[in-house]
């Protein structure tokens, strides 16, 4: 599994793990993120069962298990958090931050040790070392209980499935040509995102944030001008259409 650093200032760091060359081709490629600050770390959307070994291998290169204080699951999908039962055995004192509505569903993945911290619908925040991470509501994009993570200091928005694209394994981590990227994400957004209203509300909310990097859970990340390009494109897109094209 490849790893890149998205931001580093002192002990405050954002890492992205993905583009795993050992991944089974049937498994969709996913981006996992880890934020570190001081002696604390949080893993955002830690991924599915099949990626657990590679993720743990990658994570241990940067931190130790006792420093991983929390996991965050933007929503309940298996590619986001089906590894929960495995992390549960490695991180007996950690917390899981996830939309409150998914607590009893996520417990099916195995959650005997990790403490569930339900994020209320309006969002909340988490103090990681000296930095504050905000859980921004993104309900119905696509899941009915869904959050992004915003780091004001790093100017990074981890956007979960918003901005997701089905990219090639060898594609660069960052989107370089927006127009060429559209076909990789258009169908996904039209089909997976059920509500134009939810989409528009989210865009209006996110436009107020100072974002340098928008980091989705699949495919290339958006940096600088690409973030605005993406928001403009998504604004024009009609979503919630079940046409398999």
Interaction between residue 85 and other proteins (CB under 8 A): yes
> Binding to other proteins by residue 110, rule CB under 8 A?
yes
* Beta bridge partners of residue 97, listed in sequence order: 72, 117
Q: Which is nearer to other proteins, 90 or 203 (CB)?
A: 90
Rounded CA-CA distance 45/72 in Å is 6
List own/partner pairs for 23-27 with CB under 8 A and 24 or more apart: 23/50, 23/51, 23/54, 23/169, 24/50, 27/51, 27/79
Nearer to other proteins, 52 or 135 (CB): 52
Q: What's the min distance (Å) between Cβ of 90 and other proteins?
A: 6
Between residues 32 and 131, which has the closer beta carbon with respect to other proteins?
A: 32
Token code pair at residue 190: 């039209």
Counting contacts by CB under 8 A, is residue 89 touching other proteins? yes
- Provide the β-strand partners of residue 74: none
- Distance, in Å, from the CA atom of 123 to the CA atom of 134, rounded to the nearest integer, reads 8
Q: Would you say 146 and 140 are in contact if contact means Cβ atoms under 8 Å apart?
A: yes
Q: Is 228 in the site for other proteins (CB under 8 A)?
A: no
Shortest approach of other proteins to residue 81 CB, angstroms?
Answer: 15
Binding part of the chain for other proteins, among 30-38, 45-53, 69-77, 168-176 by CB under 8 A, reads: 45-53
Q: Which residues bind other proteins (CB under 8 A)?
A: 49, 52-54, 56-57, 60, 64-65, 85-86, 89-90, 110
């Amino acid at each position: 599994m490849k790893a890149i650093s998205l931001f580093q200032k002192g002990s405050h760091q954002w890492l992205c793990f993905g583009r795993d060359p050992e991944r089974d081709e049937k498994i969709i490629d996913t981006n996992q993120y880890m934020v570190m600050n001081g002696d604390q770390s949080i893993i955002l959307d830690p991924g599915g069962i099949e990626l657990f070994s590679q993720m743990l291998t990658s994570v241990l290169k940067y931190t130790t298990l006792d420093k991983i204080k929390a996991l965050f699951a933007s929503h309940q999908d298996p590619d986001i958090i089906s590894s929960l039962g495995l992390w549960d055995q490695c991180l007996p004192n950690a917390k899981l931050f996830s939309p409150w509505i998914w607590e009893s569903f996520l417990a099916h993945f195995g959650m005997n040790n990790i403490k569930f911290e339900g994020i209320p619908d309006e969002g909340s925040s988490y103090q990681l070392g000296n930095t504050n991470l905000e859980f921004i509501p993104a309900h119905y994009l696509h899941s009915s209980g869904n959050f992004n993570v915003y780091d004001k200091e790093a100017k990074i928005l981890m956007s979960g499935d918003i901005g997701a694209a089905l990219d090639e394994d060898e594609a660069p981590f960052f989107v370089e040509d927006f127009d060429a990227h559209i076909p990789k994400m258009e169908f996904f957004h039209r089909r997976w995102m059920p509500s134009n209203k939810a989409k528009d509300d989210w865009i209006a909310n996110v436009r107020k944030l100072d974002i340098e990097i928008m980091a989705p859970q699949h495919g290339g990340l958006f940096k600088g001008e690409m973030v605005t390009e993406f928001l403009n494109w998504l604004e024009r897109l009609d979503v919630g259409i079940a046409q398999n094209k």
